[in-house]
Protein backbone atom coordinates (compact mmCIF):
# COMPACT_ATOMS: atom_id res chain seq x y z
CA UNK A 1 0.00 0.00 0.00
CA UNK A 2 1.61 3.28 -1.02
CA UNK A 3 1.83 6.23 1.31
CA UNK A 4 -0.42 8.87 -0.10
CA UNK A 5 0.01 11.13 2.86
CA UNK A 6 3.21 12.89 1.92
CA UNK A 7 1.73 16.36 1.43
CA UNK A 8 2.77 19.23 3.65
CA UNK A 9 -0.26 18.97 5.89
CA UNK A 10 0.74 21.72 8.26
CA UNK A 11 0.90 24.24 5.39
CA UNK A 12 -2.87 24.00 5.29
CA UNK A 13 -3.42 24.04 9.05
CA UNK A 14 -3.36 27.11 11.21
CA UNK A 15 -0.43 26.05 13.37
CA UNK A 16 -0.61 29.34 15.31
CA UNK A 17 -3.54 28.16 17.41
CA UNK A 18 -2.05 24.89 18.60
CA UNK A 19 -2.13 24.60 22.39
CA UNK A 20 1.21 24.96 24.21
CA UNK A 21 0.57 21.57 25.88
CA UNK A 22 0.62 19.87 22.46
CA UNK A 23 3.74 21.73 21.40
CA UNK A 24 5.52 20.68 24.60
CA UNK A 25 4.92 17.01 23.74
CA UNK A 26 6.29 17.25 20.18
CA UNK A 27 10.04 17.25 21.02
CA UNK A 28 9.57 13.99 22.89
CA UNK A 29 7.75 12.41 19.93
CA UNK A 30 10.52 13.67 17.67
CA UNK A 31 13.18 12.11 19.90
CA UNK A 32 11.45 8.71 19.93
CA UNK A 33 10.94 8.75 16.17
CA UNK A 34 14.62 9.61 15.69
CA UNK A 35 15.60 6.58 17.80
CA UNK A 36 13.26 4.32 15.80
CA UNK A 37 14.67 5.63 12.55
CA UNK A 38 18.25 5.02 13.67
CA UNK A 39 17.21 1.49 14.66
CA UNK A 40 15.97 0.83 11.13
CA UNK A 41 12.23 0.78 11.92
CA UNK A 42 10.35 1.71 8.72
CA UNK A 43 6.73 1.54 9.82
CA UNK A 44 5.06 1.40 13.21
CA UNK A 45 1.47 1.06 14.37
CA UNK A 46 -0.10 3.86 16.32
CA UNK A 47 -0.57 1.51 19.30
CA UNK A 48 3.01 0.33 19.38
CA UNK A 49 4.37 3.85 19.03
CA UNK A 50 2.17 5.23 21.78
CA UNK A 51 3.05 2.29 24.08
CA UNK A 52 6.73 3.03 23.64
CA UNK A 53 6.24 6.71 24.30
CA UNK A 54 3.96 6.10 27.25
CA UNK A 55 1.09 8.20 25.92
CA UNK A 56 -2.31 6.89 24.92
CA UNK A 57 -2.80 6.15 21.23
CA UNK A 58 -5.70 8.59 21.16
CA UNK A 59 -3.61 11.37 22.71
CA UNK A 60 -0.89 10.84 20.11
CA UNK A 61 -3.42 10.75 17.25
CA UNK A 62 -5.15 13.86 18.55
CA UNK A 63 -1.85 15.70 18.83
CA UNK A 64 -0.94 14.81 15.25
CA UNK A 65 -4.41 15.72 14.02
CA UNK A 66 -3.62 19.31 15.00
CA UNK A 67 -1.22 19.27 12.08
CA UNK A 68 -3.36 17.26 9.71
CA UNK A 69 -2.63 13.70 10.93
CA UNK A 70 0.08 11.61 9.35
CA UNK A 71 -1.06 7.98 9.46
CA UNK A 72 -3.34 5.78 7.45
CA UNK A 73 -5.99 3.85 9.29
CA UNK A 74 -4.75 0.28 9.59
CA UNK A 75 -1.28 0.96 8.19
CA UNK A 76 0.36 2.84 11.01
CA UNK A 77 3.00 5.47 10.50
CA UNK A 78 5.94 5.74 8.16
CA UNK A 79 8.66 6.53 10.70
CA UNK A 80 10.97 8.49 8.44
CA UNK A 81 8.18 10.61 7.02
CA UNK A 82 6.71 11.34 10.44
CA UNK A 83 10.15 12.15 11.87
CA UNK A 84 10.83 14.70 9.13
CA UNK A 85 7.36 16.21 9.32
CA UNK A 86 7.70 16.59 13.06
CA UNK A 87 11.13 18.18 12.58
CA UNK A 88 9.64 20.57 10.05
CA UNK A 89 6.82 21.52 12.41
CA UNK A 90 9.42 22.16 15.13
CA UNK A 91 11.43 24.34 12.75
CA UNK A 92 14.42 22.01 12.87
CA UNK A 93 14.85 21.65 9.12
CA UNK A 94 16.09 25.23 9.07
CA UNK A 95 19.35 26.32 10.61
CA UNK A 96 18.87 27.84 14.07
CA UNK A 97 21.86 29.89 15.15
CA UNK A 98 22.21 30.55 18.87
CA UNK A 99 24.36 32.98 20.83
CA UNK A 100 25.00 32.56 24.54
CA UNK A 101 25.28 35.58 26.81
CA UNK A 102 27.35 34.71 29.90
CA UNK A 103 30.20 32.26 29.31
CA UNK A 104 30.44 30.98 32.88
CA UNK A 105 29.59 27.51 34.17
CA UNK A 106 26.19 27.20 32.57
CA UNK A 107 27.01 29.02 29.33
CA UNK A 108 29.98 26.74 28.78
CA UNK A 109 27.95 23.65 29.67
CA UNK A 110 25.39 24.58 27.01
CA UNK A 111 28.11 25.23 24.45
CA UNK A 112 29.58 21.81 25.24
CA UNK A 113 26.34 19.98 24.53
CA UNK A 114 26.74 18.21 21.19
CA UNK A 115 23.09 17.23 21.00
CA UNK A 116 22.10 20.73 19.92
CA UNK A 117 24.14 20.31 16.73
CA UNK A 118 22.44 17.08 15.74
CA UNK A 119 19.06 18.82 16.03
CA UNK A 120 20.01 21.69 13.75
CA UNK A 121 20.97 24.21 16.43
CA UNK A 122 24.33 25.89 16.03
CA UNK A 123 25.97 27.80 18.83
CA UNK A 124 27.93 30.42 16.95
CA UNK A 125 29.21 32.67 19.72
CA UNK A 126 29.44 33.23 23.46
CA UNK A 127 29.62 36.70 25.00
CA UNK A 128 30.96 37.83 28.34
CA UNK A 129 32.35 40.83 30.22
CA UNK A 130 35.15 38.93 31.92
CA UNK A 131 38.50 39.59 30.18
CA UNK A 132 39.77 36.21 31.38
CA UNK A 133 37.09 34.43 29.35
CA UNK A 134 37.11 36.65 26.26
CA UNK A 135 39.11 35.07 23.44
CA UNK A 136 38.90 31.51 24.72
CA UNK A 137 36.95 28.88 22.81
CA UNK A 138 34.43 26.30 23.98
CA UNK A 139 34.19 23.33 21.59
CA UNK A 140 35.56 25.59 18.88
CA UNK A 141 33.16 28.48 19.57
CA UNK A 142 34.73 31.77 20.56
CA UNK A 143 33.90 33.85 23.63
CA UNK A 144 33.54 37.46 22.47
CA UNK A 145 33.57 40.70 24.41
CA UNK A 146 29.95 41.75 25.05
CA UNK A 147 30.85 45.02 23.30
CA UNK A 148 30.99 43.00 20.05
CA UNK A 149 27.31 42.09 20.34
CA UNK A 150 26.00 44.75 17.93
CA UNK A 151 28.43 44.00 15.12
CA UNK A 152 28.14 40.24 15.60
CA UNK A 153 24.35 40.29 15.35
CA UNK A 154 24.56 42.55 12.31
CA UNK A 155 26.94 40.15 10.56
CA UNK A 156 25.31 36.83 11.51
CA UNK A 157 21.82 35.43 11.32
CA UNK A 158 21.09 34.89 15.00
CA UNK A 159 17.73 33.24 15.76
CA UNK A 160 18.01 32.63 19.51
CA UNK A 161 19.90 34.27 22.40
CA UNK A 162 20.46 32.19 25.53
CA UNK A 163 20.83 34.14 28.78
CA UNK A 164 23.22 32.49 31.22
CA UNK A 165 24.37 35.56 33.12
CA UNK A 166 23.55 36.86 36.60
CA UNK A 167 19.88 37.66 37.12
CA UNK A 168 20.68 41.27 37.99
CA UNK A 169 22.13 41.74 34.50
CA UNK A 170 19.68 39.66 32.49
CA UNK A 171 16.79 42.17 32.03
CA UNK A 172 19.03 44.92 30.70
CA UNK A 173 20.90 42.58 28.35
CA UNK A 174 17.58 41.12 27.14
CA UNK A 175 16.34 44.60 26.23
CA UNK A 176 19.53 45.29 24.36
CA UNK A 177 19.14 42.03 22.42
CA UNK A 178 15.59 42.95 21.47
CA UNK A 179 16.74 46.35 20.25
CA UNK A 180 19.26 44.53 18.09
CA UNK A 181 16.47 42.51 16.49
CA UNK A 182 16.55 39.26 18.47
CA UNK A 183 13.02 37.79 18.68
CA UNK A 184 13.61 34.62 20.73
CA UNK A 185 15.18 34.45 24.19
CA UNK A 186 16.10 31.22 25.95
CA UNK A 187 16.24 32.48 29.51
CA UNK A 188 18.13 30.56 32.19
CA UNK A 189 18.51 33.51 34.58
CA UNK A 190 16.09 33.19 37.51
CA UNK A 191 14.21 36.39 36.68
CA UNK A 192 11.04 37.18 34.77
CA UNK A 193 11.77 39.24 31.70
CA UNK A 194 9.46 42.07 30.84
CA UNK A 195 9.74 42.29 27.07
CA UNK A 196 7.36 43.28 24.25
CA UNK A 197 4.61 40.71 23.64
CA UNK A 198 5.91 39.61 20.28
CA UNK A 199 9.20 38.46 21.79
CA UNK A 200 9.28 34.72 22.38
CA UNK A 201 10.70 33.76 25.75
CA UNK A 202 11.33 30.22 26.91
CA UNK A 203 12.32 30.05 30.57
CA UNK A 204 14.32 27.06 31.79
CA UNK A 205 14.64 26.73 35.55
CA UNK A 206 16.13 23.56 36.97
CA UNK A 207 15.32 24.72 40.48
CA UNK A 208 11.60 24.81 39.66
CA UNK A 209 11.89 21.25 38.46
CA UNK A 210 13.68 20.00 41.59
CA UNK A 211 11.12 21.82 43.77
CA UNK A 212 8.36 19.97 41.95
CA UNK A 213 10.11 16.72 42.78
CA UNK A 214 10.56 17.86 46.37
CA UNK A 215 6.82 18.58 46.59
CA UNK A 216 6.06 15.05 45.43
CA UNK A 217 8.51 13.52 47.91
CA UNK A 218 6.94 15.43 50.77
CA UNK A 219 3.30 15.05 49.73
CA UNK A 220 3.16 11.36 48.89
P1 LIG B 1 28.77 32.05 36.38
O2 LIG B 1 29.09 33.10 37.36
O3 LIG B 1 29.66 30.87 36.24
O4 LIG B 1 28.60 32.71 34.92
C5 LIG B 1 28.00 33.94 34.68
C6 LIG B 1 28.80 34.65 33.61
O7 LIG B 1 28.10 35.81 33.20
C8 LIG B 1 30.18 35.11 34.11
O9 LIG B 1 31.20 34.58 33.26
C10 LIG B 1 30.10 36.62 34.06
O11 LIG B 1 31.34 37.22 33.73
C12 LIG B 1 29.07 36.82 32.94
N13 LIG B 1 28.46 38.13 32.95
C14 LIG B 1 28.17 38.95 33.99
N15 LIG B 1 27.60 40.09 33.57
C16 LIG B 1 27.52 39.99 32.21
C17 LIG B 1 27.03 40.86 31.19
N18 LIG B 1 26.49 42.04 31.46
N19 LIG B 1 27.13 40.44 29.91
C20 LIG B 1 27.67 39.24 29.62
N21 LIG B 1 28.16 38.38 30.53
C22 LIG B 1 28.07 38.76 31.81
O23 LIG B 1 27.29 31.59 36.73
P24 LIG B 1 26.52 30.28 36.22
O25 LIG B 1 26.57 29.25 37.25
O26 LIG B 1 26.95 29.95 34.85
O27 LIG B 1 25.01 30.83 36.19
C28 LIG B 1 24.64 31.78 35.21
C29 LIG B 1 23.18 32.17 35.38
O30 LIG B 1 22.37 31.02 35.16
C31 LIG B 1 22.80 32.67 36.76
O32 LIG B 1 21.80 33.66 36.61
C33 LIG B 1 22.25 31.45 37.46
O34 LIG B 1 21.34 31.78 38.49
C35 LIG B 1 21.56 30.79 36.31
N36 LIG B 1 21.40 29.34 36.42
C37 LIG B 1 20.22 28.85 35.99
C38 LIG B 1 19.97 27.52 35.97
C39 LIG B 1 18.69 27.06 35.41
O40 LIG B 1 18.28 25.94 35.59
N41 LIG B 1 17.96 27.92 34.74
C42 LIG B 1 20.94 26.54 36.47
C43 LIG B 1 22.19 27.14 36.88
C44 LIG B 1 22.39 28.51 36.85
Domain residue ranges of the chain, discontinuous segments joined by +: 10-89, 96-209
Count of residues making up the chain: 220
Ligand 1 pocket residue status of 148, Cβ below 6 Å = no
In the chain, % of residues over pLDDT 70: 91
| C-alpha of residue 50 to centroid of ligand 1, in Å | 39
CATH number of 10-89: 1.10.10.10
Domain 96-209, CATH class in plain words: alpha beta
What are residue 78's DSSP bridge partners?
Answer: 43
Ligand 1 pocket residue status of 128, Cβ below 6 Å = yes
Distances from the Cα of 13 to the Cαs of 7, 24, 76, 157, 168, in angstroms?
A: 12, 18, 22, 28, 41
pLDDT beyond 60 at 2 = no
Confidence of residue 14 (pLDDT cuts 50, 70, 90): low
More confident: 48 or 2? 48
CA-CA-CA-CA torsion sign (115, 156, 138, 106): negative
pLDDT beyond 80 at 128 = yes
Write the pLDDT tens digit of every residue in 185-220. 999 999 999 999 999 999 999 999 999 999 999 998
Write the pLDDT tens digit of every residue in 65-82. 898 877 666 678 999 999
Give the whole-angstrom CA distance, residue 117 versus residue 153: 20
| C-alpha of residue 102 to centroid of ligand 1, in Å | 5
Ligand 1 pocket residue status of 100, Cβ below 6 Å = no
Looking at every residue in the chain, the average pLDDT score rounds to 91
pLDDT beyond 90 at 106 = yes
Which residue's CA is the closest to the ligand 1 atom numbered 2?
Answer: 104
pLDDT at 46: 84
Amino acid sequence: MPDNNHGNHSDRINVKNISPAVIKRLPRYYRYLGDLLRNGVVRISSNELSNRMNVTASQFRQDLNNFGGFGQQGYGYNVEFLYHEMGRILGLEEKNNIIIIGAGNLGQALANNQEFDSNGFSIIGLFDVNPRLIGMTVRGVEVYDIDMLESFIRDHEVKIAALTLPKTKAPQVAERLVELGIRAIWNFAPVDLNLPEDIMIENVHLTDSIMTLSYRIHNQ
